[in-house]
Structure 1
C-alpha cells in the first residue's frame, strides 16, 4: 500500500495539502493560523484518525457493537531537539459491550494501527479506552 500527498505554499499564512479529492489547509504561518492545523496538530489528528479507522476495521470482525467513538489526544512538544516528547490519548466508546471486550478493542487499536505504530517507538505514547458515561 502506498500513499501520496502534495503540499503547496499558498501564502505566508497558509499552505494546502491535497490527496485524492481532499484538500486540507495547513498552518504554516510563523505567527500561527487559527483556521488551520499546524504540523504538530496534524500529527495528533492523524493518530486519532488511525485509532478511529482501526476501530472501524475491527468492529465487524469482533462483532463489536457501538454507537460512536470520540478520541481526545494531547501532545507535549520538546524544544531541543524539537520533537513530540509525549502523547496521551483517551478513546471514548459509546457501547454496551463488556469491559473485557473494550480491552480487546483497545489491544487491536494499539497492535494494528499504522500511524500508532509509527509514532510509538519515538514518543512516550500512552492512553486509555473507556466507555462513554451516559447521563
Structure 2
C-alpha cells in the first residue's frame, strides 16, 4: 500500500503595491512585496530563512522526546548571502543555541537529527552552501 504523502497549501494575495499576505490554516503572514522594501513584513528571502529556522526548531521538538533530550529553550539565528546573477541565496549560515545541561556528544546527536530529518533543511541544502553549528547557551 502506498504511503500517504503529507501535503501543504498556502494562498497569497496582493493587498497593494507595498504588501501582500499569505494565509494558511487560521494563520496569516504579511509579505514584503514592495520593490522599495517594507520594514513591517518579511521579504521572500527572509521568509525562506524563517522557514528554515522553524524547521530546525520543529525538528528539535520532534526528536527531544525520542532521545530523552532535556532542554530549557532553543534559539536559531540564520544569515543568508544573496548573489545577483542568477539571483539566489548562495550561502546560508545558522547557529542553533540550546539551553541544556546535556553532554557535547548528545548535542552533536541532536544536531545530526536536525540535519537529517528536516524537510525544509533537506530542500534548501542541495542548492545552497548551507552550514552551521549547534551550541550550548552560555550560563548566565
TM-score range, shorter chain: over 0.9
Aligned to 1:21: 26
Q: Which runs of 4+ in 1 moved over 4 A?
A: none
Give TM-score, length-normalised by structure 1. 1.00
Alignment of 1:54-73 (within 5 A): 54-73=59-78
1:22-64 alpha-carbon deviations (Å, 9 max, x no partner): 0000000000000000000000000000000000000000000
Measured after TM superposition, the shift of residue 134 of structure 1 is 1.1
Tell me the distance in 2 between the aligned counterparts of 1:36 and 1:88.
22
Are 1:105 and 2:110 counterparts? yes
Tell me the distance in 2 between the aligned counterparts of 1:12 and 1:82.
22
Cα RMSD of the aligned pairs, angstroms, is: 0.3
- SS state at 2:108 partner: helix
Alignment of 1:65-84 (within 5 A): 65-84=70-89
Measured after TM superposition, the shift of residue 12 of structure 1 is 0.4
Give TM-score, length-normalised by structure 2. 0.96
Are 1:41 and 2:18 counterparts? no
1:98-127 alpha-carbon deviations (Å, 9 max, x no partner): 000000000000000000000000000000
Tell me the distance in 1 between the aligned counterparts of 2:86 and 2:55.
26
Measured after TM superposition, the shift of residue 79 of structure 1 is 0.2
Measured after TM superposition, the shift of residue 9 of structure 1 is 0.1
